[in-house]
Amino acid sequence: ELDNGLELKKISTHEGQTPEEDRQTWSNGWEFLMSCIAMSIGLGNVWRFPFTAYENGGGAFLIPYIIVLFVVGKPFYYLEMIMGQFTSRSSVKMWSAVPALRGVGWAQMFCMISVGTYYCSLMSVTAIYLLGSFSTELPWAHCNEEWGENCVDSGKSEVSINSSMNVGDVRSSAELYFS
């Protein structure tokens, strides 16, 4: 049984195999489908896709996006799943079936590690801001002394600027907190 409650059944593919060589399968087709969807839809889809679609023409962007998704993206996704299922190996080792493409698995692993570190740092910053928002007074609503005298409280509805301040140098407390 996996940590998230999903159950894998062990079946023997060939007579005489040792228990280490037994293959595991999904106990339910829906569990497999949902795990594939969970692996396909990540932070980048939720975070960057609306901006990318807006910058590239809005609804008109969706037509070429969906075409490329079904002509290129999904076939390669299924190819990788089928190769992994057929070879019973990791993405690094399965590409050794074609010696000319042996580096593809290592490139995939390097890309996933790079994306993983990027997303982990982004999610940790998000968690810090989320935890800060649970305080009774938001930490970015008022200026701290170390932010200097050009700071203006974000929590005030009316702001008075000192005559010695240059209006171009004034920054809100929220802007200084998040930078």
**Which residue numbers belong to the known binding site?**
45
Rg (CA), the chain: 26
Supply φ then ψ for residue 171, to 5 degrees.
Answer: -130, 145
Beta-strand relationship, 23-26 and 8-11: antiparallel
Helix locations, 16-167, DSSP H: 29-40, 43-47, 49-55, 59-68, 74-87, 91-94, 102-132
With beta carbons less than 8 A apart as the criterion, state whether 69 and 41 touch. Answer: no
Taking the C-alpha atoms of residue 52 and residue 121, their distance in angstroms, rounded to an integer, is 22
Check if the beta carbon of residue 129 is closer than 8 Å to that of residue 123: no
Binding residue ranges for Na(+): 45
Question: In this structure, are residues 93 and 83 in contact, taking their beta carbons and an 8 Å threshold?
Answer: no
